[in-house]
């Protein structure tokens, strides 16, 4: 019996997605981004590799969708700008600290440096929904929101790369204060 045929008949797509996303984050957490091959992710999820490739044509596409799922919507309300920015920064700082998320995030960006197709996937599937939500909530032009995302996500990922740990709260507070002074 192949792993794929082990899944109960009629198991909904959302169920498979959730299993694969959880296996993706666990594999990236355990083996690093480069070590988390599609083969190993399929094995960890207990599904056939073809099941994964039917849904995601590349590792980059899988990681992007997995991150969208792990992050969920950004908590902005558009009421108090300073409060909103602080909430958004605390939210992404906490998410990047979850097992596998920071490493998946950082890894897919690096692959994107030399892969224009992957940049398109990242930009449209991962970044654009957040960019539009922030533009609408804050009434800021695109280039300012992209700068906000670069500063916040880049800083948090760099810290994770250098220390292997999420940023401590005192430094997250410094980031909130710095970005607040610039944007508000």
Of the candidates 144, 147, 127, the residue with the CA atom closest to the CA atom of residue 135:
144
Query: Can you tell me which of 9, 12, 116, 139 binds its own copies, judged by CB under 8 A?
Result: 116
Of 107 and 137, which CB lies nearer to its own copies in the complex structure? 107
Pick the piece of the chain touching its own copies (CB under 8 A) from 29-37, 39-47, 64-72, 74-82: 29-37
Distance in angstroms (rounded) separating the CA atoms of residues 112 and 60: 8
Q: Whole-number minimum distance, CB 14 to its own copies, in Å? A: 29
Of the candidates 61, 158, 73, 57, the residue with the CA atom closest to the CA atom of residue 119:
61
Pick the piece of the chain touching its own copies (CB under 8 A) from 16-24, 62-70, 74-82, 142-150: 142-150
Distance in angstroms (rounded) separating the CA atoms of residues 135 and 138: 5
157 CB burial (10 A radius; 0-12, 13-18, 19+): buried
Contact positions vs its own copies (CB under 8 A): 28-29, 31-35, 102-103, 106-107, 109-116, 119, 122-123, 127, 143, 146-147, 149-151, 153-164, 167, 170-171, 174-175, 177-179, 181-182
């Amino acid at each position: 019996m192949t792993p794929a045929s082990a899944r109960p008949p009629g198991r909904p797509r959302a169920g498979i997605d959730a299993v694969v996303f959880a296996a993706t984050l666990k594999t990236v957490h355990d083996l690093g981004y480069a070590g988390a091959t599609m083969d190993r992710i399929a094995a960890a999820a207990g599904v056939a590799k073809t099941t994964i490739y039917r849904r995601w044509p590349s590792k980059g596409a899988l990681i992007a969708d997995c991150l969208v799922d792990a992050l969920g919507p950004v908590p902005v309300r558009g009421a108090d700008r300073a409060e909103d920015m602080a909430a958004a920064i605390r939210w992404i700082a906490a998410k990047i600290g979850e097992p596998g998320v920071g490493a998946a995030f950082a890894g897919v960006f690096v692959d994107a440096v030399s892969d224009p197709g992957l940049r398109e996937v990242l930009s449209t599937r991962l970044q654009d929904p957040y960019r539009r939500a922030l533009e609408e909530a804050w009434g800021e032009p695109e280039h300012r929101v992209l700068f906000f995302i670069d500063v916040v996500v880049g800083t948090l990922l760099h810290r994770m790369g250098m220390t292997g740990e999420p940023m401590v709260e005192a430094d997250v507070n410094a980031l909130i204060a710095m970005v607040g002074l610039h944007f508000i």
